Each structure stands twice: as C-alpha cells, then as structure tokens.
Amino acid sequence: MRPAASRSGGAGDLWRLAAAADVADWESGVVQTRLVRQWCEAHGLDGAQIYRQDGGPVASWGVLGKREHRLEHNLVLYCAGSDETAGDAGGAGGWPPEGRELAGILAMGLRLRELADELKDRKFHDNYNVVTLQAVYDVGLAIASTLNLEELTEEILLRAVSLLDARRGAFYLRNAEGRLALAGTIGGGARDVLDAPAAGGSDADALEKAAAGVIPDAEHSLAVAIEGDGGSGSVGLLVVADKESRTDIGPFAASDHRALSLFANQAGIALTNANLHRQALEKERLEREVELAAEIQQRILPSDMPDVGSFETAGWSRPSRQVGGDYYGSLQLKGLRRGMVVADVTGKGMPAALLVSTLDSALRLLVDDSRFGGESVGVETSAELFERLNKHIVESSASNRFITLILAEVDPRDRSVRYVNAGHNPGLLVRRSGEVTALGASGLPLGLLPNATYRVDEVGMGPGDLICLYSDGITECESVGDEEYGQERLETFLRERRDRPLSEIIQAIDDDVSRFGAGLPQGDDQTVVLIRCRAA
C-alpha cells in the first residue's frame, strides 16, 4: 500500500474533478469512474463499487470489493483493500473512511444524469407529439376534402389504422334505431351491430367500454367514440386492434389514445360536413321535384275557363305551398254541355298533388267513355260516373286519403244545371234578386267507401244568376283572433257584388280573404270557380 501522504483524493480534489467534467462525461459515466478510482488510490484500495440500495450500479473501479459500507443518499459501497487479511478498522489494512464526500458527489452526479434522461424523454415525447399532431392534421385535411359519405367511411378507417400502425380496424356509425352498425372493417371481421348507450350527452366513455371484444381474437384493441356536432352525442365508433411492433404486436400506449381521439374529432367534423352535403343534395333534389310537380299541376289547371253559350265562367286557385291539393277545371261533354268542377284532396304538398293528378286523369278518362257522352245523359248515368270514380279513388289511394268534389254540368240549351256534391262545401247559387241557395252534399267524399252511391240534383238558372264553387280554404281562413271567414260572410260578399264582372269578383274575394287573414300564413289551398248566366 502506498503512503497516504503521497496520494491525492481528498474532498477538495474530488470536487475539483467533478466541477471540471462536462455533461457528456457525466452522462457516459466517465467522471464517476474517475472519481471512484481517485478515491480508491487516495485510500489505498484495490477497487470499489457503489450501488443504489435497490441494486442499481452507480460507479465502479478496480477489483470486486467485498467489504460493505452503507453510505448516505441510499448508496452502498463495496471496496477491496490491498491487505485482504486486515482486521479491524484501526488496523493497517482496516476500513477506509466511509466516503461521505464521494457519496455526495456521486449522488449529485446521479441526479444530474437522471435529470438529463428526463429531459431527453421529454424532448422525445414532445417531438413525438409534434409528429403525431402533424400526422393527425394531415389525415384531417385528407378526409375533410371527401364529401361522399361512403368514400369517407372507408378513408376514415384506413387513415386510423395507418396512424396507429394497427393490423386491424373497424368503423361503426349510429343508425336510425340508435344502434352502432358496422360501416367498414380492415384486417378481418367484426361484429355487425353493437348495442350502445343512447345518443346525447356525454356517452363517449360508456361507448368505448361497450366496444370491448367487437373485433374477435384481437390481443390488444383501442376504441374511441366519434362525437357529433353541437354536443349531440356520439355518432360513431373507431376501433383499432393489434399494434405493430418490431417483434410482433403490442399494446397501445396512452399517447395512441390521445392521437386516435384527436383524429376522431377530425372524423366527426368530416362526417358532419358529408351529412350536411348529402342533406343539401337531397334538399336540392326535392326542390327540383317540387318545382316539376308545380309545373305539372299548373298544366293540369286551366289557364282560362271557357264560356259555354249563355254561361260565362272564371276560375282561380292559390296553393298554400308550392304545390297543393285543390283542383278545378272544365270538362268538355258531348254536345254543348260542359262540366265545371272544384275538388279538395285531404292533406297538402306533394302527396295531395299526386292525388290531384290521379283525379284529373280518372275524370277525363271516364268522361271520354262513350257511355257518358251521349246526348241523352240522364240522372242515373251521371250517378254511375261518380260511383265508378269513387271506386277508382278507393283503389288508387291510401286509406287515409279522400277527396271532396262538386261538379256542376251546365246545358246552354235550357240553362239547366245538374250537379253532384261529393261531400264538398255547398255551392252557392246567388239569384239576380239576391236570394242565395246552397247546393248541398248528395253523396260521401270520394275514396271513403268503395260502394258509396251518389245523387244528381238539378237547378235552373235565369239571366244574372251566379253560382260560386269554392274550397274550404276560403271559408276556413282564420283571422289573428281565431275567427273563420265563414260561409255566411262569403254569401254576403257575393250578394253585394253579383253584378260585377267575374274577374273583378274573384279578385275581390282574393283581396278580402287575404285582408281577413292578414298576419297569418295561408293555412290551406284556396280555389274559386264562378258560373253566371248571361242576360237573354
């Protein structure tokens, strides 16, 4: 053993050596080795090893030591002296100083190394998060440009599997029944339908728990709910399984859940945009169909009502929507006779407009039948026409649909009017004297009962007499005070204006009803047909 006086390695020397070292030497362990070596040489030892009390090595130099010393900072020193037979601490080859100064320096270096490792980990995770965010941003841009819903579901699933390096994946969308239906899969089968919590509120956690086992035989899986727009709840579910690793497959990390959640947010926005796009296309398609239906209905309704010998006629209709359920027209019969008709189909909009088209076709086909075109058309034959029309409407319409209709057949030869009222508002015959007679119902509405029968009634008209056929959109028009326009008001209105030109009377009715219901939207289709017998 060398004399102690010739050795360096006191606390001051150790601190100077530690202070002179750079960070790389601390990280590599070079400084720790130098410190142990210098300390051993200073105390005449052949070697020393320092461990944490949990077993992890800190630094070593020289031969394996067997003498154990418990130091401060949870460190343990094993050292080997040059005289292995030495006895007690006071002997020539006895225990060296416990190494408090060495333990303190090494503990400080150990902590510095731990801090450096933590900093590296943080830098790695920060870089990983940046890469992940960039990847999520890139795939978000990719799916955001896809507005076709079917293509979008495929793209979302493919991007999710690629983003997480997964071997398998499944994508579910909530259907109309509130269940999650399989929209696509990669790498194998998955359950077709998944029972899930009801949409609405914060159901994401419950939804992800319910997704356990949806991909059979998957060793590791990760599920993330796709939230709808405006807090409407989960609209879908993304499931990835069996993450690729260098060896085989492994579990998903917490960072993978964050990345998939961010991607799911992008997917939710893309799905919302695709659904809005689909709805816009559907709305545009429906608008085109309604416009076409309105054009067809305008062709069905006459642009002008023809005069019939001694009778002058006029008609007008305004639907409450773009297309309506009111119908009016003029039917050419054999000889000089002509039929004026007003009808009202239950309901509004497209369904009512379709039934109006059916009614128009059926009426014209039946009227063109030779059995109803002779000069000697009688009451029984006209009733038969309505019975056949009724059966046709029963067979061609839904059970909750029916039609009220009034048809007035005028004959200019004797100024007679035959009429059938199938459950419609009573026509109003306003005599030149001001007397008003109601042309009441003579049968049930068309389409109610298959075997309904009808009665044909007849009235005569003199010069200046006026008949008004109308739909209930006129008399049932409501004011802001919930008062109906009513039949009595209409009778008074017609009586006061019975001598005016028909076009002026129709315009006055339109103005008066509109003024009566001012402040409220039009509640029902409105139709008027006027027939007046000219003076001889």
| Contact of 460 with 416, CB cutoff 8 Å | yes
3-state secondary structure of 389: helix
User: Are the C-beta atoms of residues 428 and 492 closer than 8 Å to each other?
Assistant: no
Tens place of pLDDT per residue across the chain (536 aa) = 344 434 455 667 888 888 888 877 877 788 888 888 888 888 888 888 878 877 788 878 888 877 777 777 777 887 887 554 333 333 334 456 656 677 777 777 777 777 777 777 676 565 555 555 565 566 566 566 666 777 788 888 888 888 788 888 888 888 878 788 888 888 878 888 877 665 544 555 666 666 677 887 888 888 888 887 655 677 888 888 888 877 778 888 887 888 888 878 878 877 888 888 788 888 888 778 777 777 777 778 888 898 888 899 999 998 887 777 899 999 888 778 899 999 999 877 778 888 888 898 888 888 876 444 445 444 344 788 899 999 999 998 888 889 999 999 999 988 999 999 999 999 999 999 999 999 999 999 999 999 999 999 999 999 999 999 999 999 999 998 899 999 999 999 999 999 999 999 999 999 999 999 987 888 889 999 999 998 76
C-beta separation of 244 from 272 below 8 A: no
Q: Max Cα separation, the chain?
A: 157
325 neighbors 525 (Cβ within 8 angstroms):
yes
The set of residues, in sequence order, having a beta carbon less than 8 Å from that of 373 and lying 6+ positions away, is 333, 334, 367
Do residues 485 and 446 touch, judged by C-beta distance below 8 A? Answer: no
Report the C-alpha gap between 263 and 258 in whole angstroms: 9
d(CA 388, CA 508): 37
What class does CATH assign to 303-533? alpha beta
Q: With beta carbons less than 8 A apart as the criterion, state whether 385 and 362 touch.
A: no
Rg (CA), the chain: 48
Q: What is the DSSP letter of 516?
A: H
- Which SS3 state, helix, strand or coil, does residue 395 take? helix
Instruction: Report how far residue 63's alpha carbon sits from residue 41's, in angstroms, rounded to the nearest whole number.
Output: 13
Strands 75-81 and 166-174: unpaired
Residue 282 — φ and ψ, nearest 5°? -65, -40
From start to end of 84-233, where are the E strands? Answer: 166-174, 180-186, 193-194, 221-227
Q: What is the CATH topology of the domain spanning 145-276?
A: Beta-Lactamase (3.30.450)
What whole-number distance in Å separates Cα of residue 61 and Cα of residue 142?
58
Q: What is the pLDDT of residue 204?
A: 59
pLDDT at 154: 82
Contact indicator for 86, 92 with CB cutoff of 8 Å? yes
Q: Where are the chain's structural domains?
A: 4-116, 145-276, 303-533
Identify the three-state secondary structure at position 111.
helix
Task: State the Cα–Cα distance between residues 469 and 530, nearest whole angstrom.
Answer: 6
Q: Are 449 and 513 in contact (CB under 8 A)?
A: no
**DSSP state letters, 261-330:** HHHHHHHHHHHHHHHHHHHHHHHHHHHHHHHHHHHHHHHHS-SSPPPBTTEEEEEEEE-SSSS-SEEEEE
3-class secondary-structure state, position 444: coil
The answer for residues whose C-beta is within 8 angstroms of residue 116's C-beta and 6 or more apart is 23, 26, 27
pLDDT tens-digit profile of 266-302? 788 778 888 887 888 888 887 787 777 777 777 788 8
pLDDT digits (tens, 9 = 90+) for 205-237: 666 666 677 887 888 888 888 887 655 677 888
H/E stretch holding 525 reads none
Which phi and psi angles does 207 have, rounded to 5°?
Answer: -65, -40
Q: Which of 176, 170, 177, 132 lies closest to 153 in space, CA to CA?
A: 170
